[in-house]
Amino acid sequence: MLPTIALGKHQVTRLVLGGNPVYGHSHFNRLYSQHLIDYHTPERVVELLRACEGAGINAWQNSYTERTLADIDRVRSEGIKFHWLCLGKTDWDEHPEFIDHVAKRQPIGIAPHGALAERLHRQKKIPVLLDLLKRIRSNGVLVGLSAHNPELIALSEEQGWDVDYYMCCQYYLTRPREEVQK
């Protein structure tokens, strides 16, 4: 096993397998993203998780979609042990019941998508984001906060939000166009 950290009551490897390459989120171009999707068949996802388990990686983070849920079920049915961190979608403010749906699959943590969190922040709808975080907590799993903008994480810390872990990219993907142009 690779070195671990405590994440709640869980020991999670410091290296976590991400879902973006598996599910075609290359952030490069559509063609490359499609190649990633085509390559990562359900069978190859099982092989990948088995290889990760063999290499000592015990955690997988991916986004909430029917495909990822099916892959989670398939990998578990193969007896592969891993901690799952679920990243929500950008419409969870309109569908908070999805949190309850995903919690039934027993992730160790759930985080609303960073683009959603940042949109709510820009729209001055932090109470909506806080309600999503409370709903996650009420399902008995760890509460994550995802962001592309580290200012949102700083705000969470300043205000003492009930968050167990953060996910923050090294790039600010959702930067508003006017900020990019500056």
> Which residue has tokens 């009420």?
138
- Model pLDDT for residues 72-119, shown as the tens digit of each residue: 999 999 999 999 999 999 999 999 999 999 999 999 999 999 999 999
Indicate if the pLDDT at residue 158 is higher than 70. Answer: yes
- How does pLDDT run across 46-71, given as a tens digit for each residue? 999 999 999 999 999 999 999 999 99
Which tokens go with 123?
A: 């729209």
Is it the case that residue 179 has pLDDT exceeding 90? no
Helix/strand/coil (H/E/C) assignment for every residue in the chain: CCCEEEECCEEEECCCEECCCCCCCCCCCHHHHHHHHHHCCHHHHHHHHHHHHHHCCCEEEEECCHHHHHHHHHHHHCCCCCEEEEECCCCCCCCCHHHHHHHCCCCCEEECCHHHHHHHHHCCCHHHHHHHHHHHHHCCCEEEEEECCHHHHHHHHHHCCCCCEEEECCCCCCCCHHHHHC
pTM score of the predicted model: 0.91
**Would you place residue 182 in the very low, low, confident or very high pLDDT band (cuts 50, 70, 90)?**
confident
